[in-house]
Structure 1
Amino acid sequence: MSEFDAIFVGAGHNSLACAAHLAAKGWKTAVFERNETIGGAVQTREYTLPGFRHDFGAMNLSLFAGSAFHRKYANELNAKGLEFAPVAHCFASAFPDGRWFGVSNDLELTASRIAQFSATDAETWRRLVGLFPAEAEHLFRLLGSPISARSLAGTAWNLWRKKGMAGALDTGRLLLSSPRAWLEETFEAPHVRATLAAWGMHLDFAPDIAGGAVFPYLESMANQSFGMVLGKGGADTIIRAMAGMVTGAGGTIATGSEVAEITTAGGKATGVRLASGETHTASRAVIANVAPGALVGKLLPGGSGDAGFDTAMRKFRHAPGTMMIHLALDDLPDWAAGAELRQFAYVHLAPSLDAMSRTYQQAMAGMLPDAPVLVVGQPTTIDPSRAPEGKHVLWVQVRVLPAEIAGDAAGKIAPAPWDAVKDAYAERALDIIESHAPGLRRKILGRAVFSPLDLERENPNLVGGDQVCGSHHLSQNFLFRPARGFANWSTPVAGLHLVGAATWPGGGTGAGSGYMLAQKLGGG
């Protein structure tokens, strides 16, 4: 048995950020991870062929690069090997009519592309970009701070002081709007609307779901204003650097060490018991980076002692599933809409707001969508080091999918468990890419397919293949993430804290929950 100040269950990036800060403050920390590889959904491995490095889940590291944790520890992270690969051509969409639109970090280049669809939209874009710094101040303050009624009141006061009542209400309306509502009142070109709306699908916001407008807005404006960053060599560059900080400060990271139970006494967390039978004590905190259902369903066998909290954890809503297709390629896709698309980090294949809405509803009804939304990542166009010279990797997210299959909207695949149908459904996704980039299949050197079930097997936090560990709809966000009264990473068990994408401020690579909890526990 070993004694620590803080014990972490799971080695996702929020755990590592929290452990790194506490270790820097002199805490004796230990991180226990069930898998042999740390990082949670932020991993990079050779899934297809030797020399081809594929990001398991997260690819975009812009949130981490702009995070408060990175601002404080940039020098230490760089010393541990952190490297970013900057992206100038951030995201684009290709459409069935042979046209395309993309956002680069050159304002006039992006505006000129928009003007091909609508001169009015091009001027609107310039105006939004000009206003973005002032708007971003308030939104980033909200999304980057601990959430409480007091903090919300402070944000509202700051908004009123800077923008007046009308301006403050406009920002509030943006936060409550659906993607469709904001896009249709802001832009007139369907191609522009669809390109931006695709970002909502990354976070469980189909076009007609309230509260989703802010994500297409922030992603498009931030990419235009700052560009994007990937990890040099893979997204796991942030994991390796943070792990180096933890161990360099005397912390312990143990892989292949599954936590079977969080031990308690007198209503206080006292440590953990591993599946091997080992026990370890924590004198100051136990921090669980797990999906809410696992906390009360497994790690606390007798529950938390608060029936309301336990019910909320069991009923925590997960987003629809995702399939990941990793391809080793002889060359990048030859996009029929234009060779310029080969320069972009992301190419979305999501033809319209209506198509995205239909796909979402099909998945929610348990049906395999007939035309899923595809996010095609081309990381080696930015960072050639991820593949042998002249070769490439393709990172394909297939969104959105049911965790359990009740039927097929196309009527071609018989209902069956994912293990039986994943290859057939992967072919449907590849057919869609092939229709936009003829000859893709001839370039494939190797492939690996992860169904929603496979993703959960790899990482139990990805329940049903939910890559953002929980719906971000308004009823489960802000003060309600993961449950009313517990948005400050606390639980009813003293000394036990919950971090990760299921907690405020939600999914992404910004390390927000881990770092803010670390500041709360150990000071800034």
Structure 2
Amino acid sequence: MNADADAVVIGAGHNGLASAIVLARAGWDVVVCERNESPGGAIRTEEVTLPGYRHDLFAANLNLFMGSAFFAEFGDDLARHGFSVVTAQRAYGSVFPDGRFLGVEQDPEATRASLAQVDPDDAEAWEALHARFAAIAPHLFPLLGVPLPSVAAVRGLLRGTRALGRRWPLDLARLLAQSPRELFEEHFVSPEVQALCAAWGMHLDFPPSMSGGALFPFLESQASAANGMALGRGGAGTLIAAMVGLLEEKGGEVRCGAPVDRVMVDGGRALGVQLVGGERLRARRAVIGNVTPQALFGQLIPPAQVPDEFERRVRAFRHGPATFMLHLAMSDLPDWSASAEARDYAYIHVAGYLEDMDLAYVRAVAGRLPEHPTLVVGQPTAVDPTRAPDGEHVLWVQVRQVPSAIHGDAAGEIEARSWDEAKEPYADRILDLIEAHAPGTRDKVRARSAWSPADLEAADPNLVGGDSLAGSHHLMQHFFLRPVPGWSRYRTPIDGLYLCGAATWPGAGVGAGSGHLLGQQLTRSRTRRRR
């Protein structure tokens, strides 16, 4: 069977769906092909422990999405299709080996009081840093919604310069070059406050001493303080259900269980896709790959179809360390010994200090299981009880970072060298680390589901080696250099073939940035041609 469409999208992750929605609204006939039996990519909510306990398998934080240009444009439509969020006013906190707890809330006085426990001067320094964030955020966040490089980006920088002064470009360049350690040691004296902020860098692949890693933890630590943390009511997967519903309302189609075998190319132009099984879908205007560069060029398209230099750069595309996920069905939330209030926060970081995070990262890239990895403990039912039966809870534990391939165990306890064998022992280590800060947690676990890096990649091939970012965000592979130099605006050397997703600008996170930008780019270019 052969069929025609204006555009075929490979992959029903949220960026692929965003591009399809923008195109369908413009009157394009769009088909989205998804290999899995359900859409969503790295945004999935499932009952993987016990019936009635709904777990966000991978992504959970929707702050970026709620501030995105896509949500500003389609938020009301998504609400009609059932999407809504709950906001945790108590956004995040950190527990420390000496028994201290620091928490960040939307209430600035509460945050100040928490930080003043360790250093009153740091509480004042936090307010100064937050004031800096409030001043530059209106000029920085809009840059995430424009292509790079572009005239729009230059205009945004000029507007910022007019508002903030001539030093703004230099201050921004310095911020982009700093490591998290340099930024937060510059502002804070206490190791606890430094680590409280720097822990956000570990959500990407930015350990505290990594140059170029300061921007993300600066923005995330302060944005969560300003806005709280947005979680999808009923699970992040409700966002995907709403996007699919909106796309279908506009005439688009999502075909699950439809893995693409190859992109059909002739004469340097993408003509469509062939599915596993032989069915062909012709694309009159565009083929969009919401996949990693190496999946598109190497698996779906033979390397010989693109210039040698481009193919070399794609092969050099680097992935970051892996992620390990642990999902727990609980009879109750952990009772954190450092503070009874800690159970009310959306995220608790169990990360130690700057040196602990640096060491965990070094262990992971060397192929060794960290003895004290950075844990992000999500407590979604603290603010959204719909995710579990009455009175019950779920925990979302993300382990940052672990090796994709195990060459040893830094603690000398786990002998297994395959994740299939090491998965459960490492899950025990994670529970031990949580138990040390919240005694009695183990007794509250009704069931658990551990997801190793191998499991993550099996669930979503874009999570190569368990890299939940679809590619490192180090400076040599970010901004206008993402995914490869010279090709940051979603085009490829093959006419009519485009690339979006976390491997492209603006990178990882649930923000729909690349899908939205690509959809706008395609519809605007068609409008210009008609004119």
Give the aligned partner of residue 288 of structure 1.
289
SS at 2:176 equivalent: helix
- 2:8, 2:288 within 8 Å by CA — same for their partners in 1? yes
Give the aligned partner of residue 400 of structure 1.
401
Give the aligned partner of residue 114 of structure 1.
115
Change (3 A) 1:302 1:362: closer
Question: Structure 2 counterpart of 1:271, which letter?
Answer: G
- 1:318, 1:466 within 8 Å by CA — same for their partners in 2? yes
Shift of 1:163: 2.3
| Structure 2: gaps (5+ residues) | none
Question: Structure 1 counterpart of 2:167, which letter?
Answer: A
Give the aligned partner of residue 52 of structure 1.
53
Give the aligned partner of residue 381 of structure 2.
380
- 1:296, 1:303 within 8 Å by CA — same for their partners in 2? no
Change (3 A) 1:220 1:302: closer
2:112 is aligned with 1:126? no
Give the aligned partner of residue 416 of structure 1.
417
- CA distance in 2 between counterparts of 1:42 and 1:303 reads 33
Shift of 1:170: 1.5
- 2:129, 2:187 within 8 Å by CA — same for their partners in 1? no
Give the aligned partner of residue 142 of structure 1.
143
- CA distance in 1 between counterparts of 2:169 and 2:505 reads 23
SS at 1:294 equivalent: helix
Give the aligned partner of residue 106 of structure 2.
105
Shift of 1:414: 1.6
Q: What does residue range 70-81 of structure 1 map to in structure 2 within 5 Å?
A: 70-81=71-82
Shift of 1:484: 0.5
Shift of 1:301: 2.2
Q: What does residue range 470-485 of structure 1 map to in structure 2 within 5 Å?
A: 470-485=471-486
- CA distance in 2 between counterparts of 1:373 and 1:21 reads 38
Q: What does residue range 143-162 of structure 1 map to in structure 2 within 5 Å?
A: 143-148=144-149, 150-162=151-163
- 2:146, 2:153 within 8 Å by CA — same for their partners in 1? no
Q: What does residue range 504-519 of structure 1 map to in structure 2 within 5 Å?
A: 504-519=505-520
**Equivalenced residues, count:** 524
Change (3 A) 1:448 1:170: same
2:41 is aligned with 1:40? yes
Let me know the Cα RMSD of the aligned residues.
1.2
- 1:94, 1:349 within 8 Å by CA — same for their partners in 2? yes
Is 295-304 or 115-124 further displaced after alignment?
Answer: 295-304
Query: Identity of aligned pairs, percent?
Result: 50
Shift of 1:158: 2.9
User: Which string of whole-angstrom CA distances, capped at 9 and with x for unpartnered residues, describes residues 376-426 of structure 1?
Assistant: 000001100000000000000111011111111111112411111111111
Give the aligned partner of residue 322 of structure 1.
323
Shift of 1:155: 3.9
Give the aligned partner of residue 391 of structure 2.
390
Shift of 1:305: 1.9
- 1:177, 1:211 within 8 Å by CA — same for their partners in 2? yes
Shift of 1:168: 2.8
Question: Structure 1 counterpart of 2:294, which letter?
Answer: G
Q: What does residue range 67-466 of structure 1 map to in structure 2 within 5 Å?
A: 67-148=68-149, 150-466=151-467
Shift of 1:132: 2.4
- CA distance in 2 between counterparts of 1:213 and 1:146 reads 22
Shift of 1:40: 0.3
- CA distance in 2 between counterparts of 1:393 and 1:362 reads 29
- 1:292, 1:502 within 8 Å by CA — same for their partners in 2? yes
User: Which string of whole-angstrom CA distances, capped at 9 and with x for unpartnered residues, describes residues 59-80 of structure 1?
Assistant: 1111111110110111111111
> What TM-score do you get using the length of structure 1 for normalisation?
0.98
- CA distance in 2 between counterparts of 1:418 and 1:130 reads 45
Question: Structure 2 counterpart of 1:42, which letter?
Answer: I
- CA distance in 1 between counterparts of 2:305 and 2:161 reads 40
Shift of 1:144: 2.0
| Structure 1: gaps (5+ residues) | none
- 2:303, 2:311 within 8 Å by CA — same for their partners in 1? no
2:504 is aligned with 1:503? yes
SS at 1:165 equivalent: coil
- CA distance in 2 between counterparts of 1:348 and 1:131 reads 24
Change (3 A) 1:149 1:23: closer
- CA distance in 2 between counterparts of 1:212 and 1:460 reads 26
- 1:304, 1:310 within 8 Å by CA — same for their partners in 2? no
